[in-house]
Amino acid sequence: MRFETPFGPAWASVDENGAVSVFNFGDGGGGGFNPEVAKQVDEFFAGKRQAFDFPLAPKGSPFQKRVWAELVRIPFGETISYGELARRIGNPAASRAVGRANATNPIALIVPCHRVIGTNGKLTGYAGGIELKDKLLVWERAVRNGKAA
């Protein structure tokens, strides 16, 4: 299924159970349809929702899934470092492995890998590009602070 967002086109793939397996920005693929996904993405970009509650089905290793599960716990409009993410999953020495798992997150935005930044506070890699990562973070902070909708 495809979406228009304030940040350009996006698309999602949904498995046979209606769970999102992929979400990405750009003119990529898409498959399946789940009206609740479309509704919640629209609400998110309207500033009326800060988290998603539809089922997710990312494909990855147990370690990757542990990292991705922790990503959804990062509050809307906030950021943490890769080192902090590694600590949160109980493996403080794994910040590089956490970074690799973050980079392979198949469900962008919904599993908010854009909320992870370098220890020095600088924006680091994002599949959609650093510019998009910055725009998403600026927009989330503005919505959280009541300055955008």
Angstrom distance (rounded) from CA 147 to CA 10? 24
Are 25 and 128 in contact, with CB atoms under 8 Å apart? Answer: yes
Catalytic residue (choose from 113, 117, 136, 137): 113
**20-25 and 2-5 beta bridge pairing:** unpaired
**20-25 and 8-14 beta bridge pairing:** antiparallel
Active site residue 99: no
H-run or E-run covering 93: none
Tell me the catalytic residues. Answer: 113
